[in-house]
């Protein structure tokens, strides 16, 4: 079932608008406001995304695409340890910058089953990177995928909070995790 061209354009604009407004006002932003910013009627939005959750999934799917590329790039790097640190910092700074809110990450990625395939792929890649960094003697042996998830949760949670310099906060958070992740 393929969408007509104009409908697909509208769909894209809706996801754009939602992404922007989620960053500003959180995922509880009224659907009508998202529709207005997207330049479509409320009916169109309701028709395309019957529930708020389905729209959240669509927004998250994009951000996940970006992240999977970053993870793949890190997995190809020579130095696993520095690639891991770079990946974590890029991820958190990106989250801070785009204002990715915790609700989005959690409901779509961690809680629901919508992205199980992607989740499995990402976690496998990240675990490979961690494993290599551990064999190189750079990463502590107690670090695991769960700790990366914890960092992302913590960062997403903090990212929703207004601060003078959200990017600096993200870097500081990664700084602490990196020091803890390092072999002692």
Partner DNA sequence: AGATAAATGAAAGAGTTCTTCCACTTAGTC
Partner DNA sequence: GACTAAGTGGAAGAACTCTTTCATTTATCT
Q: Minimum CB separation from DNA for residue 63, in Å?
A: 21
Q: Does 172 bind a second copy (CB under 8 A)?
A: yes
Which partner from the list DNA, a second copy, none does 89 bind, CB cut-off 5 to 8 Å by kind? Answer: none
Are the beta carbons of 121 and 72 closer than 8 angstroms? Answer: no
Stretch that binds a second copy, among 31-39, 122-130, 131-139, 171-179 (CB under 8 A): 171-179
| Residue 30 neighbours by CB under 8 Å, 6+ apart | none
What is the spatial distance between Cα 60 and Cα 144, in angstroms, rounded to a whole number? Answer: 24
Is the CB of 89 or the CB of 153 nearer to a second copy?
153
Distance CA 156, CA 152 (A): 6
183 binds a second copy (CB under 8 A): no
Neighbours of 126 (CB within 10 A): 21
* The two three-digit tokens of residue 164, written as one number: 């003078």
162 binds a second copy (CB under 8 A): yes
Tell which one of 5, 6, 28, 137 touches a second copy (CB under 8 A). Answer: 28
Q: Which is nearer to DNA, 6 or 76 (CB)?
A: 6
């Amino acid at each position: 079932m393929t969408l007509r061209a104009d409908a697909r354009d509208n769909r894209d604009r809706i996801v754009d608008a939602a992404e922007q407004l989620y960053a500003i006002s959180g995922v509880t932003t009224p659907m009508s406001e998202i529709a207005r910013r997207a330049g479509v009627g409320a009916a169109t939005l309701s028709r395309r995304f019957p529930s708020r959750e389905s729209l959240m999934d669509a927004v998250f799917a994009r951000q996940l695409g970006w992240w999977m590329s970053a993870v793949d790039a890190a997995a190809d790097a020579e130095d696993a340890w520095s690639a891991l640190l770079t990946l974590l910092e890029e991820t958190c700074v990106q989250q801070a910058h785009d204002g990715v809110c915790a609700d989005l990450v959690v409901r779509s990625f961690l809680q629901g089953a919508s992205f199980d395939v992607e989740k499995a792929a990402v976690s496998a890649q990240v675990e490979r990177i961690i494993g290599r960094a551990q064999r190189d003697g750079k990463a502590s042996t107690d670090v695991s995928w769960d700790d990366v998830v914890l960092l992302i949760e913590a960062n997403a949670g903090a990212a929703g909070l207004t601060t003078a310099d959200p990017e600096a906060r993200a870097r500081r958070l990664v700084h602490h995790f990196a020091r803890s992740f390092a072999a002692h």
